[in-house]
Amino acid sequence: MSDQFSAWQLILNGDPALFAIVRLSLAVSLSAVALAALIGMPLGALLGLARFPGRSVPVVLLNTLMGLPPVVVGLAVYLLLSRSGPLGGFGILFTPMVIAQTILIVPIIAAPTRQTVEDLWVEYRDELTAMNVTPAGRMTTLLWDARYSLVTALLAGFGRAAAEVGAVMIVGGNIDGFTRTMTTAVALETSKGNLPLAMGLGVILLAIVLAINAAAWGTRVWSERQAG
């Protein structure tokens, strides 16, 4: 009980160390979601509209990548950016946590985007074809029409990023003040026996995940009401 009380004290008193970790986690996760959206939405829309031989291969691959093991992604990014790796000359090892999280999130955003755009294309194909809308115009139109559904995909991607530990631990190194996120800090502080800080971070992480799910549910309900 004393540890739980101490954890709440850290949160309510605005402990600088705790909230520095929270701010870094949110900055990394939001940056990764933004990059993943810029990549995943056009990619998903392109696969949803394109028709070519062997199309099922990239579709299946994209769905498979939604279950990418985080530690494998972390290892791949580490090897790519280490001193002996092909991009080691840039000297950015232990800083590209955003890269690892983006790789993990892109399929989570792209796969539902593809399905949503493909369904909308079936519904609006005749109208868009009759209006001679260009392929780029079709993509933009359908993405805009699916914006509420895509918000749910973005929130799911953020939830995945915020809860990630394996890839971030490998790539970031869990350096205090630089690459220590909520998940890696919880793992470290628990192993050190600093349970109040670990529990405080855990409470905040759970609150963030709860808020994400509530926002996703609320967005879905609101969009369904808007659609009638």
pLDDT along the chain (228 residues), means of 10: 70 83 88 93 91 87 87 85 70 73 92 91 86 87 86 87 82 77 85 84 87 80 70
Q: Which 3-state string (H, E, C) describes 115-128?
A: HHHHHHHHHHHHHH
Output the pLDDT for position 42.
93
Output the pLDDT for position 99.
86
SS3 215: helix
CA distances from 203 to 24, 157, 174, 176, 195 (A): 16, 20, 20, 20, 12
CA distances from 187 to 13, 102, 190 (A): 23, 22, 5
Output the pLDDT for position 3.
61
